[in-house]
Amino acid sequence: MASNSNLVAFIIGAGAHIGSAVASTLHDKGYRVALGSRSLPAAEQRKPEYLYVQLDAAKRGAIETAFDTVVDKLGPVNVVVYNAATVAAPPTPADVLSLPVDSYYDAANLGIGAFIAAQKALPSFKNEIHRNHPKAFITTGNLLPFTQYSKSEWFTLGIQKALETRFISTAVEHYKADDIRFYFATLVSNDGGIPPYSDFLKGAPTYAEVYWKLINNKEQTNWDHRFTLEGESFPHSTN
């Protein structure tokens, strides 16, 4: 760990794309950064500046243990980015009930993982060491929870995100006095819709820039934060 600062971020679901870009920005800004995923990069691909933590965010015990490891090694966390997501399509697309029940449970558990991660983060956020530091819990979002119907191939992903929005929209009201920011952050197209996948693939630097701004927002803004590939906030109302 190169940084001696008390600023600590834990990115859950940290892969080569968003996680990598956000980690790099936070490290450059003086953060100690922990990266969590189910499979860790090979030893020769790991960067010395990061703490790599193996966890399956769909498993309560794994999140709790990983959090304890991060706090033990880096100190109390003041930023959490929950970026993990998975997709399991029903084997017969026109028959949503062909989805194995275990896939439904897995999807729900990954959504609940955001709640568990925040529950574990709360004592860190409230630690005296972070009294004057930004405190933020950001979930990487998409537009699925904002409409009831989606194609069956996105059904399990929608479950995860819907559970996350239910939780984030409530938490944002409950921790204002503690100055903790909660965001469900979604890249959208310039007309507010689902961006083409090619835009999403170009989006990592934008995610890093936007998350940095959200972490450092002086005031909590709409928890349902939508932004374009240019990093501009997309104005909208949240139901």
Ligand X SMILES: NC(=O)c1ccc[n+]([C@@H]2O[C@H](COP(=O)([O-])OP(=O)(O)OC[C@H]3O[C@@H](n4cnc5c(N)ncnc54)[C@H](OP(=O)(O)O)[C@@H]3O)[C@@H](O)[C@H]2O)c1
Binding positions for ligand X, rule: CB under 6 A: 13, 15-19, 36-39, 55-58, 83-86, 110, 140, 142, 186-187, 194-195, 200
Token pair 């903790």: residue: 180
Closer residue to ligand X, CB minimum distance, 126 or 213: 213
Please check whether residue 56 is in contact with residue 38, taking contact to mean a CB–CB distance below 8 angstroms: yes
Q: How far is the CB of 48 from ligand X (least distance, A)?
A: 20
Least Cα distance to 84 among 154, 138, 124, 148 occurs for 138
User: Buried b vs exposed e over 124-145: b needs ≥16 C-beta within 10 Å?
Assistant: bbebeebeebbbbbbbbbbbbb
* Rounded Cα gap, residues 214 and 201, in angstroms: 21
* Rounded Cα gap, residues 164 and 174, in angstroms: 15
Least Cα distance to 136 among 235, 16, 70, 218 occurs for 218
Residue facing ligand X at closest CB distance? 15
User: Buried b vs exposed e over 68-83: b needs ≥16 C-beta within 10 Å?
Assistant: ebbbeebbbbbbbbbb
Least Cα distance to 79 among 183, 167, 156 occurs for 183
Closer residue to ligand X, CB minimum distance, 154 or 169: 154
Closer residue to ligand X, CB minimum distance, 124 or 156: 156
